[in-house]
Amino acid sequence: MTDLTSLTLAEAQGRLKSRAVTSVELTLAHLEAMERAKALNAYVVTTSEKALQMAKASDKRLMKGEGGPLEGLSIGVKDLYATEGVHTQACSHVLDGFKPTYESTVTANLWRDGAVMLGKLNMDEFAMGSSNETSYYGPVASPWLPPNWSREKAVAALAGDKRGLLTPGGSSGGSSAAVAARLCLAATASDTGGSIRQPAAFTGTVGIKPTYGRCSRWGMVAFASSLDQAGPLARTVRDAAIMLRSMAGPDAKDSTCWPEPVPDYEAAVGRSIKGLTIGVPKEYQLDGMNPEIVTLWSKGAQWLSDAGAKIVGISLPNTKHALPAYYIVAPAEASSNLARYDGVRYGLREPSADIFDLYERTRARGFGAEVRRRLMIGTYVLSAGYYDAYYLRAQKIRTLIKRDFELVFAEGVDAILTPATPSAAFGIGEKGSQNPVEMYLNDIFTVTVNMAGLPGLVAPAGLSSEGLPLGLQLIGRPFDEETLFSLGEAIEQAAGRMQLPNPWWA
Amino acid sequence: MSVDLDAVRRIAQLARIGVSETETPHLQAEINSILKFVEALESVDIDGVEPMTSVIPMSLPMREDVVTDGEIPGKVLANAPLSEDGFFLVPKVIE
């Protein structure tokens, strides 16, 4: 049975269609693997009953030769997506007990296409974090063993506070850990500054943040509305393509959702990349950069060149401003979006005889330290007298960042190749305790993509000298996710499929 | 730019987050480290640059001005910590 969890989404799809396996069997195999992996803390809620109901319904349709593209496939859902009648808290205490009476568009699209929901996945609180350590439900342990750790040492750490074990990245840390540990075939995730792509890089999985507007944001718990975008995490480029096609699409309920139909992304997987022009931006070459990352990056360029692409050096001069500008824009939008958590309409309420005291107590108790910090920064940069100096300036810089990309695309560049992260995964408890900025620097290569609204895909490209996965990022033209899937597949072919760790935790 | 302790208290109040006196110095240090991080932006030449309002150039879609939702007070109130007779309950705000 455990074997079923090692299938790719595409393989499982084939076996279900040929009825070599049933959805109930596939679902049970995953539920069992999840039970044995509880200590990783990837799932905050398991929806076994719902999963089996959905699987049975899928099997009925498959028996009749019917069913959608994801019929019967076992999927994990990030806790940020509203799922009707099921725990939805963006892993925050302030949404204590919240069970939406509606379904997010992205998850509704998955169920329309026949997918089976296994449960809700852990994440950084309101997606604010890069290591899944800000979750109210505690950190997630990566299925990758820390270098030179024995199984016994890791199992002992897992039973304790998890310090020293590796983080699966964040904010979509539950999603990346679950996909890498084979606790689902694929998962939904979301990306505001790198929250799909950095976890993909840290766990040896594939993640894509599509163009802003490609997926509906309706029913996703909002963090920074001009940056937030849904996307999948999966074990292969093909699987990510299959997932995104179902997740994406026009939606009248989100006025920023792109009205054009979604292309068949899977058809782009395996398409020749001959003749494509790939830009390599010199500004991503940082002082003191990890030499392993530099080597991996040039290896990636060589692979694409071997497959027939033309590699050109490019310049994106405003790159260095992206991260500081992000830490104005994102907290500002968050402070506005999270004003809704007031202890009156849903979630946690700390009683008081005074309404302002009720707000202040509820929000003090409901939000974790990182969220409080960002809300205060956001409130400050939007406050009277500081708006022009911070927020307006940051939005102007955002125009400059986007213009950099527009210029290189206009010169004929089809996509851009960059590292995904400054390093391999770090340990739980290792970063950000002294200075929050230390953690923020993790997003240095990914955040420009959100600022410019572009699509970005991260594919595993190899292992570090210590045996940990490293990823490369491909950035595309607006709404040209197809080229990214073709290029991502070329990297996956050249690098070889990532060998994921054996279940030492089970 | 940096914030003093009074500013931290004022920001907390604007954000409606209760902050104890023992927390303020720590918060001040954290906020100032972030403000220091974003200081680099002060030197960027933004003369004549329009602020970004929409990352993807698209106009707001219009639809018929008709009611598409509603009559669901049960659903609206389903997650309320306290409600009564179809209303949210809050402490008295007007004397």
Residue A1, pLDDT > 70, answer no
- Answer whether B66 touches A (CB < 8 Å): no
| Percent of chain A whose predicted confidence (pLDDT) is above 90 | 96
Torsion of CA B90, A370, A231, A442, to 10 degrees: 170
* Distance (Å) from the alpha carbon of A288 to chain B's nearest alpha carbon: 19
Whose tokens are 């692409």? That residue is A309
Locate the chain B residue with the closest alpha carbon to A328: B38
* Distance (Å) from the alpha carbon of A489 to chain B's nearest alpha carbon: 27
Residue A2, pLDDT > 70, answer no
Q: What is the CA angle A411-A413-A415, rounded to 5?
A: 155
Type of residue at A294: V
* Distance (Å) from the alpha carbon of A269 to chain B's nearest alpha carbon: 26
Residue A309, pLDDT > 60, answer yes
Locate the chain A residue with the closest alpha carbon to B28: A373
Pairing between β-strand A74-78 and β-strand A116-121 as defined by DSSP bridges: parallel
CB contact (8 A) between residue B31 and residue A377: yes
Which of A212, A328, A358 lies at the smallest CB-CB distance from B38?
Answer: A328
Which uninterrupted H or E stretch holds A279?
strand A277-281
Write the pLDDT tens digit of every residue in A423-450.
999 999 999 887 888 888 889 999 999 9
- Do residues A492 and A459 make contact, with C-beta atoms less than 8 angstroms apart? yes
CB contact (8 A) between residue A324 and residue B56: no
* Distance (Å) from the alpha carbon of A384 to chain B's nearest alpha carbon: 11
d(CA A198, CA A191): 9
Pairing between β-strand A415-419 and β-strand B87-88 as defined by DSSP bridges: unpaired
Residue B20, pLDDT > 60, answer yes
- Answer whether A384 touches B (CB < 8 Å): no
Q: Could you tell me the two tokens for A458?
A: 């991260």
Q: Could you tell me the two tokens for A1?
A: 């049975």
How does residue A105 score in pLDDT terms, banded at 50, 70 and 90? very high
CB contact (8 A) between residue B16 and residue A376: no
Q: What is the pLDDT of residue A435?
A: 84
CB contact (8 A) between residue B55 and residue A212: yes
Among candidates A493, A502, A485, A488, which has minimal Cα distance to A242? A485
d(CA A207, CA A210): 10
How does residue A378 score in pLDDT terms, banded at 50, 70 and 90? very high
Among candidates A163, A172, A165, A179, which has minimal Cα distance to A125? A172
Mean pLDDT, all residues of chain A: 97
Stretch B6-35: mean pLDDT: 96
d(CA A332, CA A131): 22
Sheet with A415-419, edge to edge strand ranges = A43-46, A116-121, A74-78, A186-191, A229-234, A206-209, A456-463, A469-476, A415-419, A277-281, A310-314
Q: Could you tell me the two tokens for A254?
A: 């989100």
Count A/B contacts: CB-CB distance under 8 Å. Answer: 166
Residue A99, pLDDT > 90, answer yes
CB contact (8 A) between residue B78 and residue A101: yes
CB contact (8 A) between residue B27 and residue A226: no
Binding-face residues of A in 198-237 toward B, CB within 8 A: 211-213, 226
For chain B, state the CA radius of gyration. 23
Helices A369-382 and B24-38: angle between axes, nearest 10 degrees = 60
Q: Which residues pair with A81 in a beta bridge?
A: A220
Write the pLDDT tens digit of every residue in B35-86.
999 999 999 999 999 999 899 988 889 999 999 999 999 999 999 999 999 9
Q: What's the ipTM? A: 0.96
- Answer whether A373 touches B (CB < 8 Å): yes
Whose tokens are 């402070």? That residue is A335
Write the pLDDT tens digit of every residue in A134-181.
999 999 999 999 999 999 999 999 999 999 999 999 999 999 999 999
Residue A210 burial (CB count, 10 A): 28
Binding-face residues of A in 101-140 toward B, CB within 8 A: 101-102
- Answer whether B94 touches A (CB < 8 Å): no
Decide: residue A266, CB within 10 A, 0-12 exposed, 13-18 middle, 19+ buried: buried
- Answer whether B91 touches A (CB < 8 Å): yes
Among candidates A52, A47, A122, which has minimal Cα distance to A85? A47
Q: Which one of B4, B21, B22, B34 would you mutate to disrupt binding with A, by most A Cβ within 10 Å of its Cβ?
A: B34
Tell me how far CA of residue A30 lies from CA of A156, A178, A288, A294, A499, in angstroms: 24, 10, 43, 37, 19
Q: What is the pLDDT of residue A436?
A: 85
Stretch A249-272: mean pLDDT: 97
Write the pLDDT tens digit of every residue in A243-256.
999 999 999 999 99
- Answer whether A343 touches B (CB < 8 Å): yes
Type of residue at A296: L
Cis, bond preceding A171 (omega within 30 deg of 0): yes
Q: Where are the alpha helices (DSSP H) in A279-392?
A: 291-306, 319-337, 355-366, 369-382
Which of B15, B34, B37 lies at the smallest CB-CB distance from A335?
Answer: B15
- Do residues A79 and A90 make contact, with C-beta atoms less than 8 angstroms apart? yes
- Answer whether A452 touches B (CB < 8 Å): yes
Binding-face residues of A in 302-331 toward B, CB within 8 A: 318, 320-321, 324-325, 327-328
Residues of A forming the active site: 78, 171, 195
Q: What is the pLDDT of residue A432?
A: 83
- Answer whether B4 touches A (CB < 8 Å): no
Q: Which one of A257, A337, A376 would you mutate to disrupt binding with B, by most B Cβ within 10 Å of its Cβ?
A: A376
d(CA A179, CA A185): 6
Which of B15, B38, B72 lies at the smallest CB-CB distance from A379?
Answer: B15
What are the two backbone dihedrals, phi and then psi, of residue A321, each rounded to the nearest 5 degrees?
-85, -10
Write the pLDDT tens digit of every residue in A446-486.
999 999 999 999 999 999 999 999 999 999 999 999 999 99
Locate the chain B residue with the closest alpha carbon to A450: B55
- Answer whether A385 touches B (CB < 8 Å): no
The two most distant CA atoms of chain A are separated, in Å, by 70
Stretch A225-249: mean pLDDT: 98
* Distance (Å) from the alpha carbon of B69 to chain A's nearest alpha carbon: 11
Write the pLDDT tens digit of every residue in A33-88.
999 999 999 999 999 999 999 999 999 999 999 999 999 999 999 999 999 999 99
